[in-house]
Structure 1
Amino acid sequence: MSVPDTATVLARAFHNDAMFTYIEPDEQRRAKVLPWFFGAAARLGAKYGRIDVDPGRAAAIWLPPGKTDLGPRALVGSGFAAAPLRLGIGGFRRFGSITSAFDAAKVTVIAPPFWHLFILGVEPSEQGCGHGGRVIAPVLAQADRDGHRCYLETTEESNLAFYRRRGFEVSSDHAPAGLPAFWTMTRQPG
């Protein structure tokens, strides 16, 4: 699946996600900006990590051990430098607030090396059909073989059961003032 196709599936998957409704409350504007955002995320994953897809149905973007804290150069190279223009100043500030909260939470629950499930999204009409589990299974198997832990954040409580079935456990939960609630989850190898 190409970067644009991956971006389209992920944009639809995350359209009503708490993180993105917080970043861009206007539904029509959100529908326009999310394909750009997930295109940049897919380019980042393709260059520095791994993307697994079920074409037209689901996509997972992983950052591998040793590349889970990418610097400004990686973000600029993938297209995230345009975030202030694409998201607008308010949206960019909200994006910075939530991602800063994620980063602060991450360092309290896991230390490198680990696989970071950066993004997992399933086409809304295909959710519950096993596509999400299939696209993350290859990295989970690799992490088991290599003895690496896995990590993720989610702003959707309904996702917790899905990840628990795949060996993740809640490591922390957060309800920061003015931000969406979120959970961090880790998975031990084996």
Structure 2
Amino acid sequence: MILAEAFMRDPVSEWIFPDEEHRAKSHPAFFGEFVNLVLEAGEIYLAGEGAGVTLWLPVDGSDEPDEGQELLQTLEAAVGAEATKRFAVLDGLMAANHPSEPHWYLPFIAVHPDQHSKGVGSALLRHKLTQLDEAGSAAYLEASSPRNATLYERHGFGFGPSILDLPDGPSLYPMWRNPARPVRG
């Protein structure tokens, strides 16, 4: 699974799963739950033959009930109580800071480690962002490293008003992108 391999060295994933062996064993089930969620409610885009993937979810700005508790129970059965507790901290922090305006949310973009620095991530972003620009829709994500944030900045994302700091862990960088407006002559 692309997500499982791509996030093995991600600082947030390392925080959720501090033990590398547990991380390697748990990642397929962990990311599988998010793939299932996005298959039901969002869009998934693949690049090449397993080169990369993006998961997108529409956020309409309503106060619909969150499916978070059900997800946490499923995750606990799949990855264990400690990792689920850490994920719950992360999820709570992200939820408390998530914009309420309608937008498309990018919870995950992953590029297979063998495909880094080949333009796969940019191509995946451009594909969906072009659609969002045409529809007049905004996009939101949390970058898990300054390096990743640089990629998103190149695609028109700007930093949010605050940085999200995990307890004794890494920071996440909320980023927002308004739709690009075509230049009219």
Contact 1:61-1:119 within 8 A present in 2 as well: yes
Of residues 84, 92, 98, the one that matches 1:100 is 92
- Extract unaligned runs of 5+ from structure 1: 1-7
Identity over the aligned pairs, expressed in percent?
29
Question: How many angstroms does 1:66 deviate by?
Answer: 2.5
- 2:20 is matched with 27
- 1:187 is matched with 177
Provide Cα deviations, 1:134-155, integer angstroms capped at 9, x if missing partner: 1222221111111111000122
Secondary structure at the residue paired with 2:176? strand
Contact 1:23-1:91 within 8 A present in 2 as well: yes
Secondary structure at the residue paired with 2:38? helix
- Extract unaligned runs of 5+ from structure 2: 181-185
Q: Distance in 1 between matches of 2:14 and 2:169?
A: 11
- 1:59 is matched with 53
> TM-score, normalised on structure 2?
0.87
Q: Is residue 102 of structure 2 the alignment partner of residue 129 of structure 1?
A: no
Of residues 101, 106, 109, the one that matches 1:120 is 109
Q: Distance in 1 between matches of 2:8 and 2:65?
A: 25
Q: Which has the higher helix share?
A: 1
> TM-score, normalised on structure 1?
0.85
Aligned counterparts, 1:138-153, within 5 A: 138-153=127-142
Q: Which has the larger radius of gyration?
A: 2
- 1:18 is matched with 11
Of residues 73, 77, 100, the one that matches 1:85 is 77
Of residues 33, 37, 42, the one that matches 1:49 is 42
Quick one: which amino acid aligns to residue 82 of structure 2?
A: G
Provide Cα deviations, 1:53-105, integer angstroms capped at 9, x if missing partner: 013110000002428977328x84xx764211222211111110011111112
Give the number of aligned pairs: 177
